[in-house]
A and B are shown apart, each in its own frame.
Chain A
């Protein structure tokens, strides 16, 4: 089986940098994805790490360390619109559409 753990809530102010961690235990591991979900909305894809290291996409970066079973999402220059829930997710096998989601982190950005 697979389980992915995240902090339940993180708070930060506009313009700050925040890191959302994800630790995982899996019987097979193919990579780590990150999704953003606003209240009442659909999860939207942010990034995917297949290999160790940092992937940067604009204000968002994602990091993976397979040896530590750990990853994180880094959000820079926070904006109010970044207030949302963030989920790490791991594909169950080489089919990337079958995902095990983490427990989710609610990010609250204040002025």
Chain B
């Protein structure tokens, strides 16, 4: 089985621009969660998608949005980028009551 893969690995954007990050779930997983990890801090939950519907959201503004596709892959979109959006964005997949979340390597976003 393949693991969780994210693209791109690194990205530089200008303040005010929009960005789309992509995640392919591990085979057999129907849940995808996105996290933001600032340097030196723990990941912070952005939102989760289950069967193509948003299934819970953390304390992030509406300019953070997402999609999940029928093959369970997912996108994270961030509009009107701010300097503080610079972080590592992690995608994690899982299924049902499995206690383990499987993380991708992340996308390092730098906003200048």
Q: Residues of A at under 8 Å CB distance from B?
A: 31, 33, 41-45, 48, 50, 87, 89, 91-104
Contacts and interface: CB of A to CB of B under 8 A. Distances in A.
A33 to B, nearest CB: 7
Contacts of A91: 99
Interface string B22-62: 00000000010101000011111100100000011000000
Contacts of A45: 99-102
Nearest to B99: A48
Contacts of A93: 56
Interface stretch (B67-75, B78-86, B103-111): B103-111
Given A31-B99, A42-B104, A48-B100, A98 B42 contact: no
Contacts, number: 69
Interface of B: 4, 31, 33, 35, 40-45, 48, 55-56, 90, 92-94, 97-106
A105 to B, nearest CB: 10
Nearest to B47: A98
A98 to B, nearest CB: 5
Contact of B41 (A42, A94, A104): A104
18 contacts: A33-B101, A42-B4, A42-B105, A42-B106, A43-B92, A43-B103, A45-B99, A91-B99, A92-B45, A95-B55, A96-B100, A97-B93, A98-B48, A98-B56, A99-B33, A99-B101, A102-B42, A104-B42
Contacts of B48: 95, 97-98
Residue picked from B42, B48, B101, B106, most chain A C-beta under 10 Å? B42
Contacts of A104: 40-42
Contact of B101 (A31, A96, A100, A102): A96
Contacts of B33: 97-99
B90 A97 contact: no
Contacts of B40: 104
A95 B99 contact: no
